[in-house]
Amino acid sequence: MQNKRFYTRYRINADTRIGTLDGKVYKGELVDLSAEGARVRLYDIPELNQGDIVYLLIKFKTYNFKAKAEVRWIKADKVMEIGLKFIEMTIADRQVLSEILTEIAMASLEDSLLR
């Protein structure tokens, strides 16, 4: 199976909020993150559909990141996981995302070197 992703996904645990266009906000947990999207676990299962547009807010250490994203896939059981593709963010938020990914990548590299 060919990997269709252009960017590395990093496992990360961070507080996350998903906001819908009608103003509802859901608390979640970031599962992984890349330069083009994220996977989020939600415990309150919202009424979301593939193709919906949402707002994503990530709080990671001292960073706050926000972006508009499209719901690309949904898996729902006892918890819901959604795959998001970023479609819009400010230049400042693009820089924050880059800093978060760099910090995670450096920590992963350090972990692998210390093994």
- pLDDT averages per 10-residue partition of the chain, 115 residues: 67 92 94 96 87 96 95 91 97 95 82 55
d(CA 97, CA 76): 27
Looking at residue 83, its pLDDT comes to: 97
The domain that contains 69 carries what CATH number?
Answer: 2.40.10.220
Looking at residue 5, its pLDDT comes to: 57
Looking at residue 38, its pLDDT comes to: 97
d(CA 29, CA 99): 19
Looking at residue 71, its pLDDT comes to: 97
Does residue 102 form part of some domain?
A: yes
Does residue 38 form part of some domain?
A: yes
**Block residue for tokens 């400042």:** 92
Tokens of 43: 């415990």
Looking at residue 111, its pLDDT comes to: 57
